[in-house]
Amino acid sequence: MRAGGEGTPPPVVITPDLTLPKLLRRTARHYGDRKVAMREKDYGIWRQITWREYSEHVRHIALGFVALGLGRGDKVALVGHNRPEGLWAEMATLCVGGVAVWLYQDCLIDEVQYIVEHSDARLLVGEGQEEVDKALAVADRCPKLERILWDDPKGMRGYTDPRLLSLAEVEHLGRELDAREPGRFETLVDAGRGQDTALLFYTSGTTARPKGALLSHTNMLKMGQNLMAVDPCTARDDFVSFLPFAWIGEQMMSISCGLQAGFTINFPEAPETVQQNIREIGPQVLFSPPRIYEQMVRSVQAKILDAPPLKRRAYRWGLDVGHRVADCQFGRRSVPPALRLARWLADWLVLRKLRDHLGLARVQHAYTGGAALGPDHLRFFHAIGVNLKQIYGQTEIAGISVVHRDGDIKFDTVGRPIPETELRIAADGEILSRSPCVFQGYYKMPAETAWTLKDGWLHSGDIGFFDEDGHLVVFDRRSDVMTLGDGTRFSPQYIETRLKFSPYLKDGWIVGHGRPFVSAVVCIDAVVVGRWAEDQHLAYTSYVELSQKPEVYALVAGAIRQVNRSLPAPARIRKLVNLHKEFDADDEELTRTRKLRRAFLEERYQEILAAIYSDSTEVHMDTTVTYEDGRVARTRTALRIMPIEDS
**Which residues make Cβ contacts (< 8 Å) with residue 479, sequence separation at least 6?**
207, 461
The pair phi, psi for residue 166, each rounded to 5°, is -80, 155
DSSP string, 231-244: S---TT-EEE--S-
- Supply the pLDDT for residue 625: 59
- CATH architecture label of 287-477: 3-Layer(aba) Sandwich (3.40)
Split at pLDDT 50, 70, 90, the class of 148 is: very high
For the chain, what is the mean pLDDT? 92
Q: What is the 3-class SS of 469-525, one letter each residue?
A: CCCEEEEEECCCCEECCCCCEECHHHHHHHHCCCCCEEEEEEECCCCCCEEEEEEEC
Sign of the torsion angle spanned by Cα atoms 227, 229, 235, 236? negative
Total residues belonging to the chain: 647
- Average pLDDT (297-320) is 90
Nearest-10 crossing angle of helices 526-535, 290-306: 10
Q: What residue segments make up the domains of the chain, in order of their start?
A: 20-193, 287-477, 482-643
Q: Tell me whether residue 362 is exposed, middle or buried, using C-beta atoms within 10 angstroms of its C-beta: 0 to 12, 13 to 18, 19 or more.
A: middle
Please state which CATH class domain 20-193 belongs to. alpha beta
- Can you tell me the distance from the alpha carbon of 14 to that of 172, in angstroms, rounded to the nearest whole number? 34
Q: What is the 3-class SS of 175-219, one letter each residue?
A: HHHHHHCCCHHHHHHHCCCCCCEEEEEECCCCCCCCCEEEEEHHH
**Per-residue burial over 474-505, b = 16 or more CB atoms within 10 Å of its CB, e = otherwise:** bbbbbebbbebeeeeebbbbbbbbbbbbbbbb
Cα–Cα distances (Å) from 239 to 245, 280, 363, in that order, read: 14, 12, 10
Q: Which of 4-18, 242-256, 427-441, 535-549 has the lowest mean pLDDT?
A: 4-18
Q: Which amino acid is at 127?
A: E
Cα–Cα distances (Å) from 56 to 89, 175, 217, 253, 504, in that order, read: 12, 10, 21, 22, 49
Sign of the torsion angle spanned by Cα atoms 201, 204, 210, 213? negative
**Which residues make Cβ contacts (< 8 Å) with residue 344, sequence separation at least 6?**
none
The pair phi, psi for residue 206, each rounded to 5°, is -75, -25
Instruction: Report whether 379 contacts 323 (CB < 8 A).
Output: yes
Q: For residue 529, give the nearest of 542, 546, 544 by alpha carbon.
A: 546
- The fold for domain 482-643 equals GMP Synthetase; Chain A, domain 3 (3.30.300)
pTM value?
0.88
Q: Which amino acid is at 297?
A: V
Tell me if 287-477 shares its fold with 482-643: no
- Can you tell me the distance from the alpha carbon of 384 to that of 379, in angstroms, rounded to the nearest whole number? 9
- Average pLDDT (162-186) is 97
Q: Which of 88-97, 333-342, 483-492, 622-631 has the lowest mean pLDDT?
A: 622-631
The pair phi, psi for residue 538, each rounded to 5°, is -100, 125
- Can you tell me the distance from the alpha carbon of 615 to that of 613, in angstroms, rounded to the nearest whole number? 7
Q: Which of 43-52, 150-159, 407-416, 631-640 has the lowest mean pLDDT?
A: 631-640
- Average pLDDT (417-425) is 96
Task: List, for residues 574-604, the tens digit of each pLDDT value.
Answer: 999 999 999 988 888 988 877 888 989 999 9
Task: List, for residues 207-247, the tens digit of each pLDDT value.
Answer: 557 899 999 999 999 999 999 999 999 999 999 999 999 99
Cα–Cα distances (Å) from 636 to 222, 546, 553, 629, in that order, read: 52, 15, 19, 22
- Supply the pLDDT for residue 5: 46
Split at pLDDT 50, 70, 90, the class of 1 is: very low
- Average pLDDT (9-35) is 93
**Which residues make Cβ contacts (< 8 Å) with residue 285, sequence separation at least 6?**
233, 237, 238, 239, 253, 257, 263, 363, 364, 365, 366
Sign of the torsion angle spanned by Cα atoms 520, 526, 532, 536? positive
Q: Tell me whether residue 141 is exposed, middle or buried, using C-beta atoms within 10 angstroms of its C-beta: 0 to 12, 13 to 18, 19 or more.
A: exposed
Q: For residue 262, give the nearest of 232, 226, 282 by alpha carbon.
A: 232
Q: What is the 3-class SS of 120-149, one letter each residue?
A: CEEEEEECCHHHHHHHHHHHCCCCCCCEEE
Q: Which amino acid is at 482?
A: M
Residue 192: how many CA atoms within 13 Å on its side-chain side? 31
- Supply the pLDDT for residue 3: 42
Split at pLDDT 50, 70, 90, the class of 383 is: very high
Residue 511: pLDDT above 60?
A: yes
Instruction: Report whether 437 contacts 226 (CB < 8 A).
Output: yes
- Supply the pLDDT for residue 630: 62
Split at pLDDT 50, 70, 90, the class of 323 is: very high
